[in-house]
Amino acid sequence: MKFKKLVAVLSSVLLMGTMFAGCAPSSTTTAPAASTEKAAPAAQEEAKPAEKPKNDKLVVGFAQIGQESGWRDAETWSILNTAEELGVDLKFSDAQQKQENQIKAIRTFIQQQVDVIGVAPVVETGWETVFKEAKDAGIPIILVDRRADVPEDLYAAFIGSDFILEGQNAAKEMAALLGNKGSIVELQGTVGASAATDRMKGFTDELGNYPDMKILASQTGDFTRAKGKEVMEAFLKAYPGQINGVYAHNDDMALGAIEAIKDAGLKPSVDIKVVSIDGVKGIFEAMAAGEANVTVECNPLLGPQFFQAAQDLKDGKTVEKWIKSDEGIFRQETAKEDLPNRKY
Ligand code: GYE
């Protein structure tokens, strides 16, 4: 499935917050009503033994957060596309940024007796009850890209990045850009999300090594371009002529901040240094145009690792508790050469 086509399908189907089953080409665009293969066991049970046959298709439920960023779209694409390639029966839900919708989706997956549930927890807390329900039903949970604050026995694995390290790397890059001296504003991700909490911690801790660098202000832009712009506009008004750098917890917010900086008559990456996290194409374009400085990569293409872990769990194998992704740091100097190689 092509990325653009997928995004179009997502916008039209998933925005409604519905759930649909199967990721094969035939079912991706089908109406939610088609998702009944696993939901009507009664009729089947009379003909077949109650137990699921061994070696049957891998059945997975995935409770996605929403469509707040280019990174998120790339992750969704990776999940849908890998399921299609592997022939996995995928039930996919878009929670439109709401934890209650993710919890509802997980409960539906439990009823549908999926083999494994994947969830990208929008915030860190509030998962214990529903994860216990999955555990009682014998369904392992894989945390994808963000962590949940639950006891270790309530999830099988976390697949994703080291957000603290990303924050530390971002701080080192900012220090190098500013000659170890200057005032920074921070655009935080969604409040309560592990990706935001840890990116803030890593950055702040690392900044402790640079006595002449300080954070002037820090506020959430909810991982979106629109809010990133809005908050940056407010910062520029509140601290005229005082901001040397902006650190954004994701590229989308940085792209919003760049617009705000330009609207204020300043040059992004020159008058105000721009450092962010993710590595989406849009920020490479901005770097190539000389408007952003550095992105610390966070890989969203987690589909292959996710379904491998799901299959291993179904097969009764043990999986690593933290499956990490390989990531780099990319700077303005090489952006033009890097751009054609970017996959998301
Ligand atoms: O950095 C951001 C997204 O959870 C790691 O969520 C993910 C973050 C990603 O919306 O762009």
Average pLDDT over residues 304-328: 95
What's this model's pTM, rounded to 2 decimal places? Answer: 0.87
- Retrieve residue 230's tokens: 């809005």
CA of 120 to the centre of ligand 1 (A): 10
- Retrieve residue 105's tokens: 């989706």
The domains of the chain are located at 59-160+301-325, 163-298
The widest CA-to-CA distance across the chain, in whole angstroms, is: 75
CA of 94 to the centre of ligand 1 (A): 15
CA of 42 to the centre of ligand 1 (A): 40
pLDDT of residue 325: 84
pLDDT of residue 235: 98
Spatial separation of the C-alpha atoms in residues 331 and 321, rounded to whole Å: 32
Closest ligand 1 atom to 252 CA: 11
Residues 6+ apart with CB under 8 A from 241: none
CB atoms within 10 A of CB 101: 20
CA of 208 to the centre of ligand 1 (A): 25
CB atoms within 10 A of CB 295: 31
Closest ligand 1 atom to 251 CA: 11
Same fold, 59-160+301-325 and 163-298: yes
Closest ligand 1 atom to 223 CA: 10
Instruction: Say yes or no to pLDDT of 214 above 70.
Output: yes
Kindly report, residue by residue over 40-53, the tens digit of the pLDDT: 333 344 444 445 54
Q: Which residues line ligand 1 (CB under 6 A)?
A: 68-69, 71-72, 145-146, 195, 223, 250, 252, 277-278, 298
CA of 299 to the centre of ligand 1 (A): 10
Kindly report, residue by residue over 234-248, the tens digit of the pLDDT: 999 999 999 999 999
Instruction: Say yes or no to pLDDT of 92 above 80.
Output: yes
Kindly report, residue by residue over 225-283, the tens digit of the pLDDT: 999 999 999 999 999 999 999 999 999 999 999 999 999 999 999 999 999 999 999 99
Of 298, 301, 306, 327, the residue with max ligand 1 atoms within 8 A of its CB, to mutate for a pocket test, comes to 298
Edge-to-edge strands of the sheet including 141-144?
19-21, 89-94, 59-64, 116-119, 141-144, 157-160, 322-324
Q: Which CATH class is domain 59-160+301-325?
A: alpha beta
Q: Residue 223 in 3-state DSSP? A: coil
CA of 72 to the centre of ligand 1 (A): 6
**Beta pairing class for 294-297 and 329-331:** antiparallel
Give the containing element (helix H, strand E) for 174. Answer: helix 163-177
The fold of 163-298 is Rossmann fold (3.40.50)
Instruction: Say yes or no to pLDDT of 8 above 60.
Output: no
Q: Tell how far CA 150 is from the center of its chain.
A: 19
Mind giving me the DSSP string for 60-129? EEEEE----SHHHHHHHHHHHHHHHHHT-EEEEEE-TT-HHHHHHHHHHHHHTT-SEEEE--SSSSS-HH
